[in-house]
A and B are shown apart, each in its own frame.
Chain A
Amino acid sequence: MGSLFDFMLPELKSPLTGASTDALMGFIHLVSFIILAGVTIAMIYFAIKYKRKSDDDQTPLITHNNTLELTWSVIPLILVFIVFGWGYSGWLNLKAVPDNAYEIQVSAYKWGWTFSYENGAQVGNEVHVPAGRPVKLVMKSQDVLHSFFVPDYRIKQDVLPNRYTYVWFQADEAGESQVFCTEYCGTSHSDMLAKVIVHTQSDFENWLASQNTGGGGTPVERGESLLTLQGCVTCHSVDGSEKIGPTFQKLFGREETMTDGTTLTVDENYIRESILDPGAKIVEGYQNQMVSYEGRLSDDDISDIIEYIKTLD
């Protein structure tokens, strides 16, 4: 049985994200196989045993059996509850990024992937990651929907043009894994491939240091200068002091109460929304005064600003 499952699934290279999925799939396949075999054997057995002998055959009148109906409703119900709970807990784990995750920015476009690192390095269609450490990908599309899928890690997430989505994984050993785009995106959808290349921690640091970071500085540096250039700091302090708008200090991950009484935790999508549509959600105690930066800041600019804000703690 185990070898059959191995045949069904590629080798698992990120047990933290995939072990629960694999076990669940094995469980469902096993239970399904048993029930399917039971149903099939019963069908064939009945067809042989109760084969018509003559056109005048009389059959007994059996209309229903409540005990039986109840049994074969409740047992499957229990089984699907188990499957639901199991799938739910596995999925919660996929959503819960560990705190020490190494973050990489992903930009998807027709038809390729760009991976950006903290030091400003950018790589196309190859994402280099350290082994034995959780990696978080913060993803955004430049055009249509895409989807980031690594079968070896059992992870998949759609990449959207209007907000950030993320996935995480932890590859335990150095090696390579295939990345597919799994949301149909046009002519070369099937060529929109990439590789995850896993290095040991020290190899990874060497690799990162060897990368050309371009002239424009790191995303954090670019973000910092944008804040001055665009006049953001006129209304938002970076040191916690009170101005017209909320301070950027310790903004990322902060819980804020809105004017309508709701609370939210500040994340990439909230900051992006506040830049493009400032009136959408106003923090309690502030006025709706900011103008939209739609068209004035590019998607990359916004990502850089967010990266800078994340460092302000």
Chain B
Amino acid sequence: MATAEVSPASTGTKKTFKVKRYIPSENPKKTFFTEERGLWAWLTTVDHKKIGLMYLGSVTFFFLLGGILALLLRTELLTPAQTFIEADTYNQFFTLHGAIMVFFVLVPSIPAALGNFVLPMQLGAKDVAFPRLNLASLYIYIIGAIFTFIALASNGLDTGWTFYTPYSTESTSSVIWVTMGVFILGFSSILTGTNFIATIHKLRAPGITWSKLPLNIWALYATSIMQVLATPVLAITLLLLTMERFLGVGIFDPSLGGDPVLYQHFFWFYSHPAVYIMIVPGFGIISEVITTFSKKHIFGYWAIALSSLAIAFIGFLVWGHHMFTSGQSAVATTVFSFLTFLVGIPTGIKILNWVATLYKGSIEMKTPMVYVFVFLFLFSIGGFTGIMLGALSADIHLHDTYYVVAHFHYVMMGGTLIALLAGLHYWWPKMTGKMYNEFQAKIGAALIFIGFNMTFLPQFIMGSQGMPRRYYNYIDQFTIFHQTSTIGSYILGVGFLLIAYYLAKSLMSGERAGSNPWGSRGLEWQSTSPPDLHNFDHTPVVINGPYDYHKPMEEFQLGLANAHDEKH
């Protein structure tokens, strides 16, 4: 029995609590898996962990779908002319691939799947602030995804995931349906974002002040703000599209006196922040993993935390950099280019702080850490090529070529998806209580790294040489680059299959993981694996920062001593 002086989230004034140490069981009898069993219990659950896992399942399903499309596209590009599918099919496939990967996979992947599972645990809370809303957001996501998918597939939409007018409004009104689908999906993100903001503000365990928040929470906080603010713009776009289509009010359609460039403004006003909605949660994971496997305090806590907020803020002001060649005004173009460079600075600061964290650490290259290294390398390349594309004269040459395709795959796949893999391998033992085969996991990471670079490095070169994106046929000089890229994508595919194989196998026959296999100081690791239905069987009390590796483990396992204990 001891006492601890901490500031509870609600008041901010110092309070003294009676605390004691709670050592998590290494072999828990009751977990969230064993309680509330059965299909119906899962479908109606308000438990953030089950909801997170269901999100993870849905995201994985759509990732598989988007991935198969990508491999079909790459296969078609093996030869300069037709290989095995028609031009129209190809155009529909790349539209589907882009829309699925962006809206169904990348946007919800980290916040709604991993974030849902981890966020309340890192805060020492029993659940999110609005558990029913959380379940609602899952169903809205699924409905939105099905709706969008049907709209895309049944109309044979071939506009690319950007749905630019007037091409997209020429003959069918499918762009309205798709925008509506994306908007429904967006509602799911608004609800998750609202829920997270409320949870972070109100449900922190005693002692978790703003300066003791894990950086993953800061990243999810910044993401949530963007989700809540950006998505409503889609509603406005939808409303305007509907007015144009049904009331004949000319807004985007030049034959009615509208302006197609206006549509691009609206689209990117949502979709550019969406890019940061996709990447910023990845930053959170990197901070958690790199400290755990260096056993070291994060370098520049506030620099990393505040740079997430800076990115969230500036990220709203750079949408026009997608439109340097669109014919938008010269002043706008100049300002957008300038602001684009400013958003690069906080991102660069993060990378250097992470590398500095390694200095004098105790570094263990387990699979999640391997992915962090892969992330730092690939995402840096994504960042530098982003600077290239932000430079006005260079962008004129590179815009809408494979250079852009390679750039955003380095950012979105080399960044977000690799961070997701880091997080998945990091929290897998916590989520399932099972450990995967470490050797196979490292082979998987190596395949992903090699396959990824082989797929996308040649795309920088051919883009720079002038190969435009969204091309079904191409001129002969680009053949060698396309073929290398296609072979790379197959290696990438094998890598993902291997990951699916050993993760599935670990569920059946994996070793028991133990409550804290990585020796992390994070609060989510001070519970059993898998956690109890209510995460902790006590109220955690936090007296140290989440990265205080210089302090002994017992100081991280404190909880309120209950009345029963006091009698003894």
Q: Are A156 and B400 in contact (CB under 8 A)?
A: yes
Q: Are B363 and A144 in contact (CB under 8 A)?
A: no
From B345, B348, B360, A50 is in contact (CB under 8 Å) with B360
A-side contacts of B298, CB under 8 Å: 63
From A88, A89, A149, B468 is in contact (CB under 8 Å) with A149
B-side contacts of A69, CB under 8 Å: 300, 303, 349, 353
Residue of B nearest to A165 (CB): B327
Residue of B nearest to A40 (CB): B377
Contact residues, A46-96 vs B (CB, 8 A): 46-47, 50-53, 55, 57-65, 68-69, 72-73, 76-77, 80-81, 83-84, 86-91, 93-95
Q: Are A178 and B475 in contact (CB under 8 A)?
A: yes
User: How many A-B Cβ pairs are below 8 Å?
Assistant: 264
Contact residues, B436-469 vs A (CB, 8 A): 460-461, 464-466, 468-469
Q: Are A87 and B392 in contact (CB under 8 A)?
A: yes
Question: Complex Cα distance A288/B466, Å?
Answer: 48
Given contacts A64-B302, A185-B167, whether A59 and B475 have CB atoms under 8 Å apart is no
A264 at the interface (CB under 8 A from B): no
* Interface-side segment among A6-14, A197-205, A225-233, A251-259: A6-14
Given contacts A88-B392, A156-B397, A277-B257, whether A50 and B302 have CB atoms under 8 Å apart is no
A-side contacts of B160, CB under 8 Å: 184
Given contacts A42-B355, A156-B399, A189-B470, whether A90 and B392 have CB atoms under 8 Å apart is yes
Interface residues on B, range: 35 or more
A160 at the interface (CB under 8 A from B): yes
B62 at the interface (CB under 8 A from A): no
Contact residues, B229-278 vs A (CB, 8 A): 254-255, 257-261
Q: Are A9 and B465 in contact (CB under 8 A)?
A: yes
Question: Complex Cα distance A13/B517, Å?
Answer: 61
A-side contacts of B302, CB under 8 Å: 64
B313 at the interface (CB under 8 A from A): no
Q: Are B167 and A186 in contact (CB under 8 A)?
A: yes
Given contacts A43-B358, A84-B391, A186-B158, whether A50 and B325 have CB atoms under 8 Å apart is no
Most chain A beta-carbon neighbours within 10 Å: one of B255, B355, B475: B355
Q: Are B393 and A61 in contact (CB under 8 A)?
A: no
A-side contacts of B254, CB under 8 Å: 160-162
B-side contacts of A86, CB under 8 Å: 391, 393
Given contacts A63-B301, A181-B468, whether A144 and B400 have CB atoms under 8 Å apart is no
Q: Are A64 and B300 in contact (CB under 8 A)?
A: yes
Given contacts A63-B299, A181-B468, A186-B158, whether A21 and B393 have CB atoms under 8 Å apart is yes
Given contacts A64-B302, A84-B391, A156-B325, whether A39 and B355 have CB atoms under 8 Å apart is yes
Question: Complex Cα distance A181/B471, Å?
Answer: 10
B159 at the interface (CB under 8 A from A): yes
Q: Are B325 and A39 in contact (CB under 8 A)?
A: no
Most chain B beta-carbon neighbours within 10 Å: one of A35, A61, A64: A64
Question: Complex Cα distance A95/B364, Å?
Answer: 54
Q: Are B396 and A62 in contact (CB under 8 A)?
A: no
Q: Are B327 and A182 in contact (CB under 8 A)?
A: no
From B255, B351, B376, B549, A59 is in contact (CB under 8 Å) with B549
Residue of B nearest to A83 (CB): B391
B288 at the interface (CB under 8 A from A): no
B177 at the interface (CB under 8 A from A): no
From A68, A72, A155, B348 is in contact (CB under 8 Å) with A72
Contact residues, A215-239 vs B (CB, 8 A): none
Q: Are A145 and B373 in contact (CB under 8 A)?
A: no
Interface residues on A, range: 35 or more
Q: Are A158 and B297 in contact (CB under 8 A)?
A: no
A151 at the interface (CB under 8 A from B): yes
A-side contacts of B394, CB under 8 Å: 21, 24-25, 28, 87, 90
B268 to chain A, nearest CB (A): 14
A-side contacts of B464, CB under 8 Å: 8-9, 25
B-side contacts of A190, CB under 8 Å: 87, 468, 470-474
Q: Are A28 and B388 in contact (CB under 8 A)?
A: yes
Contact with A along B357-387 (1 / 0, CB 8 A): 0111111110000000100110011001101
B550 at the interface (CB under 8 A from A): yes
B519 at the interface (CB under 8 A from A): yes
A29 to chain B, nearest CB (A): 8
Residue of A nearest to B255 (CB): A161
Question: Complex Cα distance A236/B481, Å?
Answer: 58
From A7, A64, A184, A276, B167 is in contact (CB under 8 Å) with A184
B537 to chain A, nearest CB (A): 27
Q: Are A59 and B294 in contact (CB under 8 A)?
A: yes
Q: Are B377 and A47 in contact (CB under 8 A)?
A: no
Q: Are A8 and B461 in contact (CB under 8 A)?
A: yes
Q: Are B91 and A187 in contact (CB under 8 A)?
A: yes
Q: Are A94 and B327 in contact (CB under 8 A)?
A: no
From A7, A28, A40, B384 is in contact (CB under 8 Å) with A28
B341 at the interface (CB under 8 A from A): yes
Residue of A nearest to B87 (CB): A187
Question: Complex Cα distance A158/B466, Å?
Answer: 16
A243 at the interface (CB under 8 A from B): no
* Interface-side segment among B44-52, B103-111, B330-338, B555-563: B330-338
A17 to chain B, nearest CB (A): 9
Q: Are B359 and A46 in contact (CB under 8 A)?
A: yes
Q: Are B400 and A59 in contact (CB under 8 A)?
A: no
Contact with A along B489-514 (1 / 0, CB 8 A): 00000000000000000000000000
B188 at the interface (CB under 8 A from A): no
Residue of B nearest to A159 (CB): B327
Contact with B along A270-297 (1 / 0, CB 8 A): 0000001100000000000000000000
B-side contacts of A61, CB under 8 Å: 297, 548, 550
A209 at the interface (CB under 8 A from B): no
Q: Are B352 and A72 in contact (CB under 8 A)?
A: yes
Q: Are B400 and A183 in contact (CB under 8 A)?
A: yes
Residue of B nearest to A157 (CB): B325
Q: Are B167 and A94 in contact (CB under 8 A)?
A: no
Which 3 A-B pairs have CB atoms at the shortest separation, nearest pair first?
A151-B466, A90-B393, A87-B391
Given contacts A144-B170, A187-B87, 20 further A-B contacts (CB under 8 A): A28-B384, A32-B381, A32-B384, A39-B351, A51-B363, A51-B365, A52-B362, A60-B360, A64-B300, A73-B349, A84-B337, A88-B393, A151-B465, A154-B396, A154-B397, A155-B397, A156-B397, A162-B259, A183-B400, A190-B472
23 A-B residue contacts at CB 8 Å? Answer: A8-B460, A21-B394, A35-B380, A39-B380, A40-B377, A43-B373, A50-B361, A57-B295, A59-B295, A59-B361, A61-B550, A62-B297, A62-B359, A84-B337, A87-B393, A91-B392, A91-B393, A94-B393, A149-B466, A156-B399, A156-B400, A160-B260, A162-B254
Binding site for B on A (CB under 8 A): 7-10, 18, 20-21, 24-25, 28-29, 32, 35-36, 39-40, 42-43, 46-47, 50-53, 55, 57-65, 68-69, 72-73, 76-77, 80-81, 83-84, 86-91, 93-95, 143-145, 147, 149, 151-152, 154-158, 160-163, 165, 178, 180-191, 193, 276-277
